[in-house]
A and B are shown apart, each in its own frame.
Chain A
Amino acid sequence: MGIVDKECEVVENRFISGRTWLLRVKAPEIVDNIKPASFAMIRSSFEYQYDPLLRRAFAIADVVGDELWFYYDVYGKGTKLLTERKAGERVSILAPLGNRFFPEDYEHYVIVGGGIGFAGLSLFMKHLRKMGKSFKPLYGVRRREQLSMLEWIEENGFDVIVYTEDGSFGKKGLITQDLKELALEKPNTALAVCGPHGMMKAVVEIAREINVPCFVSLESRMACGFGICIGCVVKEKESDNYVRVCYEGPVFDAFKIEL
């Protein structure tokens, strides 16, 4: 089954906290083909309105029945416009996208999600639980109001270590502070990471230092999301070539690319 371009009905589109919103859409044609770290390109403007021209890429945070869930941060024109979509209206969604996902053959995973990047890992957590694998999720933000997925975590019953830089919730400090110990706790462990660039770099450095495999789910400015614009590239170390985040990713072995 290929990629579907569908006008999906909005079930709910509401403000959560900080700058994060939750968009739920009905997408029965898409839900069956989603893999953890699959993403979607969503058009925030109406058809044939050309500003903003391009769709925006969003991680599929959850699949519930025939619904897709997206947690998204409002930053610019596109995401601001998306907040105006009401329940009952339709949004154009191109999904599922991405071709390389997290490897599933490790025995234990440490999930490292920074800010809205946690929404790029939530589906993988559900998947790991279903497979009966052991994993430890970490969720780090600057301030409490950025913890927009707390409700989701609670509803789904995950045991997550939460870090806030200002100490307003959970442990005070950076998501990387206990990472070495947590990553070395069990044999055959891998890290699954998604978050801001600086955080990912710090995590990858630690992973390299302690020699624990590390996989990052990347985001990038994308025009198409399915491989034809060659805009969303990242450099592969060995070949020294640029590869597409949307097509050769979005998940990469962190040691093989230049972050």
Chain B
Amino acid sequence: MNFYQKAERRGCPLIKRGNDILSYELFGIKFKNPVWTASGCFSYGLEVSKLYDLSLLGAIVVKGLSYRPRKGNPPERIIETPAGMLNSIGLQNPGVKKFVEEILPELREYDTVIFANVFGEEEEEYIAVSEELDRADGVHGLELNVSCPNVKKGGISFGSDPETLYELVYKLKKVTKKPLLVKLSPNVTNILDTAEACVEAGADGLVLINTLLGMAIDVEKEEPMLATKTGGLSGPAILPIAVRMIYQVFERYRTSVPIIGVGGITTVQDALQHILAGAVAVQIGTANFYDPYSPLKVINGLKKHIEKKGYKHFLELVGRAHRLKIG
């Protein structure tokens, strides 16, 4: 018996097994499978509907939304690195109102769960965005991007200081009744400190991990390749870091705080590492760019893996790498 099975037996209200081997209810939301697409790697979803039916996905986390529209950064915005890429898109987005009015009506036609990624330059902006999304029909939950620089605190990101993070999450919990997830930044000394701040403040779940800060230099031009010099590293290169951080956070909180794994997943094997480390759902990010069908491949791969291993349900896999005796 693993942690989620035990939690289920105790009658844990957090999670309920569904009829299908991959389906379950979490945060009071029915998920048909645990495979989501990650924010910033899927735009607002509609572009991908030209490739496959979005209803096949467990959930879509839309690209980060601020209150005011953001133009984003000048090019170059993307640089390929060994087994990864750096991006510095600059959170380009049409603003939350335009999203709700013009994009959401089409997106919510699909039979999948929609999480909206939220960011701001100061607390007030986070609050304003969250208020809009709380009212928006078709948005099931919110995911906070806390890697954004806090303008009022000299540009230090919300996600790197536990106290600032606590304040932010605490205030936002009062603004929305929808499930509030916090996407943690790996650019911290100890992920458990920022995880704790979110849990204490009442976050409904943690999303691990956002991109790692990196840089690439053009040796001919002898200057940084990205227009903004630094950018976020994503892709297969960061998989072991994500797995380690999920493992650490699960070790502390077990099933009391759902963890959504993101970082470096392309294949079902990658997803399984996240899941065995403790992720109850996984997000596919950068792989959408080079292998657009990867979310569907992971969904099918999970089904096959569970059947092959003789499990009855996906939840039996979650956190299994911890091998703790339960009794």
Contact = CB atoms under 8 A, between A and B. Distances in A.
A44 B234 CA distance: 20
B47 A226 contact: yes
The prevalent SS among residues of A at the interface is: loop
A241 B292 contact: no
Contact of A3 (B41, B51, B74, B235): B51
A178 to B, nearest CB: 32
B83 A51 contact: yes
Interface residues of A, number: 32
A2 interface: yes
B312 interface: no
B77 A228 contact: no
Contact of B288 (A43, A51, A224, A240): A224
Nearest to A222: B78
Interface in B58-83: 63, 71-72, 74-83
A47 B266 CA distance: 11
Contacts of A230: 43, 63, 72, 77, 89, 92
B42 interface: yes
Nearest to B76: A221
The prevalent SS among residues of B at the interface is: loop
Nearest to B287: A53
B54 interface: no
B292 A94 contact: yes
A3 B49 CA distance: 10
Contact of B47 (A43, A47, A54, A228): A228
Interface in B22-49: 41-43, 47-48
B236 A53 contact: yes
Given A5-B292, A228-B48, A53 B75 contact: no
A75 interface: no
A229 interface: yes
B288 A228 contact: yes
Nearest to B47: A227
A228 B289 contact: yes
Given A48-B267, A53-B236, A55-B290, A223 B51 contact: no
A54 B80 contact: yes
Question: Interface centre among B63, B77, B84, B293, by most A CB within 10 Å?
Answer: B77
Question: Interface centre among A3, A50, A247, by most B CB within 10 Å?
Answer: A50
B80 to A, nearest CB: 5
A82 to B, nearest CB: 15
B85 A54 contact: yes
A42 to B, nearest CB: 11
A50 B235 contact: yes
A242 interface: yes
B147 interface: no
Question: Interface centre among B72, B80, B290, by most A CB within 10 Å?
Answer: B290
A211 interface: no
Interface in A208-259: 220-224, 226-235, 240-242, 247
B85 A50 contact: no
Nearest to A230: B89
A231 B41 contact: no
A5 B267 contact: no
B50 interface: yes
A170 interface: no
A233 B51 contact: no
A53 B288 contact: no
A223 B243 CA distance: 24
B87 A231 contact: yes
A3 B288 CA distance: 14
A47 B237 CA distance: 16
A52 interface: yes
Interface in B227-268: 235-237, 266-267
B43 A51 contact: no
A43 B290 contact: yes
B51 A48 contact: no
Interface in A1-50: 2-3, 5, 43, 47-48, 50
A249 to B, nearest CB: 13
Contacts of B78: 221-223, 229, 231-232
A234 B92 CA distance: 13
B92 A53 contact: no
Contacts of B89: 229-231
B84 to A, nearest CB: 6
Nearest to A77: B80
Contacts of B42: 228
A228 B71 contact: no
Nearest 9 CB-CB pairings of A with B: A231-B78, A227-B47, A50-B83, A224-B289, A2-B50, A223-B289, A228-B43, A50-B236, A231-B77
6 contacts: A50-B82, A222-B78, A223-B87, A223-B286, A226-B50, A242-B72
Interface of A: 2-3, 5, 43, 47-48, 50-55, 94, 220-224, 226-235, 240-242, 247
